[in-house]
Structure formats: structure tokens, C-alpha cells
Amino acid sequence: MIPPLVRKILWATVVLGGVTFCYWVLRDLWSGIAFALATAWAMANVLVWAMLVLAYVRPGNRDTGRAMAWLAVKFVLLVAGFAALVVAAPMRPITGWAVLAGVSSVLVVTVLTAAGAALTGVDLLEGREKDPLK
């Protein structure tokens, strides 16, 4: 089960990524494809980290086997990311910027989510307004 906060961040990244993908495709088709792949890779990394933390840090019923499986998936993602960069080695500057923007998109959404919750007084973990008396 994906934590609700991670699910919200991933959906917001899909929306932001879709709009930004259109921009990159209009600039250059290959840069748009690179942006989409980099965004998908970053989203997969966030999901794997969340599941790894849930499997290992959960109090009471730690599942070491599942944590090791998620760690293996994380290693595969890391190798795949480096392999993709090596295969696309002589990258044009616009494509490099698209990859950087794609990988950073999840971070941007996470920071905007946290800032919006702080400004509106919403508890991120529970999804409702904080009690001002607490």
C-alpha cells in the first residue's frame, strides 16, 4: 500500500510532468522524451524509497525480506539511470536540461506540497487541518 502523502506527490508530479512534457516536446522531441523518462525514473525512485522505509522502519512488524527486495529494486533503478546516461552520452545541452528538469520535478512537487501545507495549516500525514489548540 502506497502512503497517501506519496500518492498525492506522485499524482501531482504526473500533472506537472504532463504540462512540462508538452513544453519540452514543443522545444525538441528528443528532449521531451528524455524529460518524460527522467520524470518516470524519479517517480519510481520516490515510490521505491517509500516502500523501503515502510518495509523496514515500520514498528512492530519489520519485514526484512521485503526491505531487501525493495533495496534490490532501488539498485536496479540506480544502474538503469546510470546506463541511460552513458548510452545517451554525447547529449545536447537542451536534452541535458530536460533530464535535469525531469529528475528535479519530484523534488519541486514535494517542496511545493510541504510549503502549501505549512501555509494552509494542513497536517501532511493525516490530510486535514491541524488543531490550533495543540
* Residue 94 near residue 29 (C-beta atoms within 8 A): no
Residue type, 112: L
Residue boundaries of the structural domains of the chain: 4-121
- pLDDT, greater one: 21 or 121: 21
User: What does the alpha-carbon distance between residue 101 and residue 38 come to, in Å, rounded to a whole number?
Assistant: 8
Stated pTM of the model: 0.83
User: What does the alpha-carbon distance between residue 24 and residue 45 come to, in Å, rounded to a whole number?
Assistant: 22
Q: pLDDT at residue 133 above 60?
A: no
Span 31-49, mean pLDDT? 93
Q: What DSSP string runs through 76-126?
A: HHHHHHHHHHHHT-S--HHHHHHHHHHHHHHHHHHHHHHHHHHHHTEETTT
The predicted-structure confidence for 113-127, as pLDDT tens digits, reads as follows 888 887 887 777 666
